[in-house]
Amino acid sequence: MSACAKCTSTDLVRIAMTLSGAPVTFGHCRTCEHRQWHSAADGNDLRLPDVLSQVAS
């Protein structure tokens, strides 16, 4: 699926999670420590504030 949005490395740790009933994939770049989230349903990037608001709710 994804490369790091920051450094374009494909060496990512991927963890599938569910947020508010929606499947998402958390990616952690081994190269630059960037963290990113993708919707598992449509592959769109999720912005971190959106993710955090879902976690908090």
Q: Between 13 and 22, whose beta carbon lies closer to Zn ion? A: 13
**Which positions from 15 to 54 touch Zn ion by CB under 5 A, shown as an x/- string?**
--------------x-xx-x--------------------
Report CA 50 to chain centroid distance, whole Å.
Answer: 11
Q: Compute how many other C-beta atoms are within 10 angstroms of the C-beta atom of residue 49.
A: 8
For the record, the structure tokens of 42 come out as: 């449509």
Three-state SS at 52: helix
Q: Between 4 and 24, whose beta carbon lies closer to Zn ion? A: 4
Residues lying near Zn ion in the complex (CB under 5 A) are found at 4, 6-7, 9, 29, 31-32, 34
